Structure 1
Amino acid sequence: MKSDPKNKRYSISDLALEFDISPRSIRFYEEKGLLSPKRTSGNQRVYGRRDRARLKLILRGKRFGYSLEEIAEMIGMTDAEKGEVEQIRASLVYGEKKLKEIRDSIEGLRLLERDILSVKEKLLKRLNELEEEDR
């Protein structure tokens, strides 16, 4: 009998290994309501394809700097009535906000770089003056 890929199941160890995170992190996301594994008769967690996909989205969201609350809203965890269109719109709003933050940070770093280069130039000029006086 062939296994049905739609019913693929993962243990917490499988997911931890695949995504290079600790089982504790996965349990944390479960505690926050972002994952909902089934339980075996021995009370072992069994994750399905949907949980795996959500975990992938959670980790991507964290990498992009989103909060867990923002991630939950983007993947439709905060409002069961929210459809895909609303999820996409929420994701776009959060994406625009994050892009603005990134652009502001880049601009701040450019200003800092200019300031440091200006100070460096002044210090090098002063150093040259002092070395000329010593000759």
Structure 2
Amino acid sequence: MSTPNNDPTYAIGELAREFDITPRTIRFYEEQGLLSPTRTGQNRVYDNKDRVRLKLILRGKRLGFSLAEVKTLFDMYDSNPNSAVQLEAMLAMTEQKRAVLNQQLEDIKMLMTELDDVEARCIEELEQLKRGTIA
């Protein structure tokens, strides 16, 4: 699809296939104010800005950002596309995500150590049972 000025446009199904998500997911993002397609009758028509935003939404989700956080960044960008405030907010959010992930990583390492200990005790007891040294 394309508009009269030859900018590409997309139907909801095209974007859903491209990004391997459901049309319902795209409609949900629209309901949350993250996408704003135009309409031709009952059909939604997405432009390149919507496509880029969809890509950014999915990347943000993959990185652990909430939709509210993504919307905050979009709102800052919409009010001033070259804003240092937006970049500073993104850096702060990135730092927070990194801290959460580092804590989760430490928690996982601790759990892995505990699992290793449990596994070692189970193996030791099983070997003792096989040798008949445990009653």
Residue 132 (structure 1) shift: 2.2
* 2:22 is aligned with 1:44: no
**Unpaired stretches in structure 2, ≥5 consecutive residues:** none
Q: Which protein has the bigger strand share?
A: 2
Q: What amino acid is the match of 2:79? A: E
Equivalent residue, structure 1, for 2:70:
71
Secondary structure of the residue that 2:55 maps to in structure 1?
helix
Alignment partners' CA distance in 1, 2:43 and 2:120: 63
Matched, 1:112 2:100: no
Code of the aligned partner of 1:17: R
Find the counterpart in structure 2 of residue 122 from structure 1.
121
TM-score (norm 2): 0.84
Task: Give secondary structure in 1 for the equivalent of 2:59.
Answer: helix
2: CA distance between counterparts of 1:78 and 1:85? 10
Runs of 5+ unmatched residues, structure 1: none
Deviation per residue, 1:98-122 (Å, 9 max, x gap): 1111111111111111111112112
Give the deviation of 1:4 after TM superposition. 5.4
Alignment of 1:1-135 (within 5 A): 7-40=7-40, 42-75=41-74, 77=75, 80-83=78-81, 84-133=83-132
The CA deviation at 1:35 is 0.6
In 1, are the aligned partners of 2:38 and 2:44 still within 8 Å (CA)? yes
Identity rate, percent: 41
Aligned CA RMSD, in angstroms, stands at 2.0
Once superposed, which parts of structure 1, at least 4 consecutive aligned residues long, lie more than 3 Å away?
78-83
